[in-house]
């Protein structure tokens, strides 16, 4: 049954390539209120992150002679716009400028 001369039996080589790019953007903000040259309040660091993930998959199929029979490419874009404030501590850091 497994005769090498049979034309109906052929071998296909399949190759799948996955490409993944992940970009993470981190921003740190701080709000300071100053009155008459004296710091009244400090919000502390506020950290926000933004994540973008690009995924691409390539599929190639080859026949027994090494010729390419099929090619396809799929693109997937996942965007995660998290405006999460990780640390938001509002405390008043008054400077002691008591000069007597």
> Phi and psi (nearest 5°) for 57?
-125, 130
State the Cα–Cα distance between residues 18 and 59, nearest whole angstrom. Answer: 9
Q: Quote the CA–CA distance of 81 and 74 in Å, as a whole number.
A: 23
Using the Cα atoms of residue 82, residue 86, residue 90 and residue 96 in order, give the sign of their dihedral.
Answer: negative
CA atoms of 49 and 27, how far apart (whole Å): 6
Instruction: Name the pTM for this structure.
Output: 0.41
Q: Give me the pLDDT at residue 92, please.
A: 45
What pLDDT sits at residue 88? Answer: 44
Q: E-assigned strands of the chain? A: 13-29, 32-35, 38-42, 46-62, 68-80
pLDDT in tens, the chain (100 residues): 455 555 555 557 788 888 888 888 888 888 888 888 888 888 888 888 888 888 888 888 877 777 777 777 777 666 565 554 444 444 444 444 544 4
Q: What's residue 4's pLDDT? A: 53
């Amino acid at each position: 049954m497994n005769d090498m001369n049979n034309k109906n039996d052929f071998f296909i080589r399949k190759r799948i390539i996955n490409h993944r790019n992940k970009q993470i953007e981190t921003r740190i903000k701080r709000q300071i209120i100053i009155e008459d040259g004296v710091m009244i309040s400090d919000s502390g660091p506020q950290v926000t992150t933004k994540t973008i993930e690009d995924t691409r998959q390539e599929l190639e199929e080859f026949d027994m002679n090494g010729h390419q029979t099929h090619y396809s490419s799929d693109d997937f874009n996942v965007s995660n716009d998290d405006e999460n404030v990780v640390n938001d501590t509002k405390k008043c850091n008054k400077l002691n400028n008591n000069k007597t």
